[in-house]
Amino acid sequence: MSIDDSERSAAERELADAVRSFLERVVRPVEAKYAAELAETGTIDPASQLRERRALRRRSAELGYYGMAMPEEAGGLGVSPLGVAWAFEEIGASGLLLADRGGVLPNVEGPNLAMVAMTPAQRTRYLEPLLRAEREGCFALTEPGAGSDATSIRTRAVRDGDEWVITGTKQFITHGGDADFTVVVAVTDPDRGGRGLTAFLVDRGTPGFSVGRTHRTLGEDRPVDLLFDGVRVPDSAIVGGRGQALGYAMRAINVARVNIAAGALGKSRYLLNAMLAHASTRQAFGRPIGAFQLVQAHIADSSIEIDATRGLVEAAAAAADRDDRSARRLAASAKIYATETVQRVADRAIQVHGGGGVTTAAGIERYFRDARAARIYEGTSEVLRANIAKWLGVPV
């Protein structure tokens, strides 16, 4: 590591510490208002979550945290993928529901690296308000017949004079029901496979564009279907150029996988601390349950996997920073391992807490639900494993 790299690393550690302080000073008092609801239901009602997160992300944006991952020339802080991962880890470790999913750092509603491809006019209209948390977006890629396999997309954009006419249905779109605009990926050149996909900006309220069904999930997300029925947009709505959508999308998704892994690492830390506290105070047969070897094994196994996860997350973030050939593979590896680890740690935490662990009052069961969902979005564990094998040279 060079002196410059060392100085940057120290500065970004300080930034992660500042994010942790923000979580305690700003977010925790807000979430405390919902303590009774969290204990009773295990969650906060969706309308309150939306309202509080919007207010929190505006405060985060004022301090620069919300746009930290964006390059300086795009209006962000230019923080490295490793620095951003450290910040996402702190959010996961806080145990705060409102800090997650765009409360402090952007989820799908906010700025992402694919938006670097925007034109100056698009940046002014879309990216700059996003960085200030004044507008919200969403990314519409998944369809009823096209999830992990983006080349199976059926939504079409057909040229008609100076406009494009978009027709199709997108499914499971996170934040789609609340976004001011969407970046929708459609087929413009059917004979070119993945190189025939183009991204378009579509504003809420555009004729023919509507929100369909809301899907209730086992986690906190409420994704929706987005319907495009002859939606007309100009050439200036194209993001990054015709046929370039998949490349820009994968760049953003790879970084998102590292951030998901980092958040899962933080949640594993939170759950380990919950186990340690309960094992020290809960008495059974005249002694703390931490004195029993099987409880110790749950705690020790979790600690081992957390340490392994941290090494993989930091390796993936460093590779993303270098943008080297291993970046995609390590991002996939980190996402798989971290999300599967937090699932196991959550299961152990429930077991250590006994009957109380499956109740909403303990605040543990929602991590189990959340972890299960994380193994699906931004690439299922199965597809990512297949990709890793392919990148390693296994014949397909």
Extract the runs of DSSP E, i.e. beta strands, from 106-223. Answer: 137-140, 156-160, 163-173, 181-187, 197-203, 209-214
219-222-227 Cα angle (round to 5): 145
Catalytic residues: 378
| Helix extents (H) in the chain | 3-22, 28-32, 35-41, 46-62, 81-94, 120-122, 128-131, 245-281, 293-322, 327-353, 365-374, 381-391
Q: Residue 161 phi/psi, 5° resolution?
A: 65, -125
Strand partners, 233: 164
CB 15 within 8 A of CB 87: yes
* 287-288 vs 163-173, strand pairing mode: unpaired
CB 100 within 8 A of CB 259: no
Helix-helix angle 293-322:245-281, to 10 degrees: 150
- For the chain, the residue count is 396
